[in-house]
Structure 1
């Protein structure tokens, strides 16, 4: 589904991503772990065409070199960025409808199915984005990606700043869609990554320093603590 080869990203004099190789198969969920500044967000932004990079990014067998972010999204590779980036002056329902612009002729999740996935949004259909909590915004951002008919969704820190009960709601929704949509997830919550994903890669200093089946993350707690900077 997604094949990244020898990816490099520079931000001025900072070499943020250093020769990363990564694959995500059809129907597979992959977690990207690592400390702040490890290059995780830069990697996703490079795949989405949002930052300049070198190396090769292939999606569904097609080289994405030169493709605009809009074209990449219309091919079925959708990005839910950190901070959600919903439209503050549009309602929940209008934000969701905007996601349909990416689907082209592909089949996609109907907008009403997003409300089934996130029942908490049902009474908020008319509420403007600026009036939503962080968790509600995250639900809208994920729903907006799903109505775009994605083959693969990249999520940057979907649990960041959310209350535990909301993290569980988001995790349940992602678990429900993972059989039909491939996922590439940046996540600091190792337990959540292990729950959602098949494989996990740890980035440090812009390079992949560890790769494991996600189910084995618990057995690598000490090693992960060294890389993630936590006791």
Structure 2
């Protein structure tokens, strides 16, 4: 579904991504791993049209490089940034409503689905989002993105700052997406959840892909883990 080929990206004069290439198939969970500063978040921003880049980004056979972020979102790519980006003065329910793309029979997700996955959000649906805990805000951001009914969701560090119990819920949530045919590009620094649920693992270092393979292949490669990952 998503094909990234020889992607180069820049922050001003700084060359950040160096020929990044990978694919994400339908209903596949692909983990993009690496240390802070390796280029993982920059890759997500480049795909979403949030910074200047050179190379090929093809979504369902259609080139999307150069499109505006809202145009890319309308094509079916959802993005959950690391900083969560909620609307703090709106309630939980209003935040979800803003993310809603359609109400027709073809929509895969409803408010009931969101509240069933994360009952805490249902309890706080009339609460302003700005007073939620960090974990609750992360849940809300994930669910608001899903309400847009994407075919691919790019999630940047979804478990950062979450309690272990909530981390497990996020893993179950991502597997639920896969079960409904939604692809996931999971950007993570921690190995535990990524290795447990991913179909394939990519490791980034210094703005390049330094490993592509299965989680089992990465487990069997201690040199890559030691050099490029936080273990």
> Structure 2 length as normaliser, TM-score?
0.94
Alpha-carbon separation, structure 1, partners of 2:44 and 2:76: 15
The answer for the alignment partner of 2:21 in structure 1 is 21
* C-alpha displacement of 1:173: 1.2
Distance 1:79 1:108, change over 3 A: same
Cα deviation digits, residues 75-105 of structure 1 (max 9, x gap): 1100000021111111111111111148999
Q: Distance in 2 between matches of 1:87 and 1:32?
A: 27
1:103 & 1:44 partners in 2: Cα distance?
28
Q: Does 1:128 align with 2:115?
A: no
Deviates more, 1:115-124 or 1:40-49: 115-124
The size of the alignment, in residue pairs, is 230
RMSD of aligned Cα (Å): 1.7
Deviations 1:146-182 (A, max 9, x none): 1111100000000111121211121111122222210
- 3-state SS of paired residue (1:226): helix
What is the distance in 2 between the residues matched to 1:136 and 1:54?
37
Aligned equivalent of 2:183: 182
Q: Which residues of structure 2 form unaligned runs of 5+?
A: none
8 Å CA contact 1:76, 1:103 repeated in 2? no
Which whole-Å CA distance do the structure 1 matches of 2:67 and 2:221 have between them? 38
Residue aligned with 2:55, SS: strand
1:70 is displaced (CA, Å) by 0.6
Gaps spanning 5+ residues in structure 1: where?
none
Residue 223 and residue 148 in structure 1: after superposition, are their counterparts in 2 closer, same or farther (change >3 A)? Answer: same
CA contact (8 A) 2:218 2:224 kept: no
Where does residue 199 of structure 1 map in the other structure?
200
TM-score (norm. length: structure 1): 0.94
Query: What residue number does 2:210 align with?
Result: 209
- Partner of 1:66: helix, strand, or coil? coil
Structure 1 contact 154–185 (Cα < 8 Å) conserved: yes
Q: Which residue of 2 aligns with 1:148?
A: 148
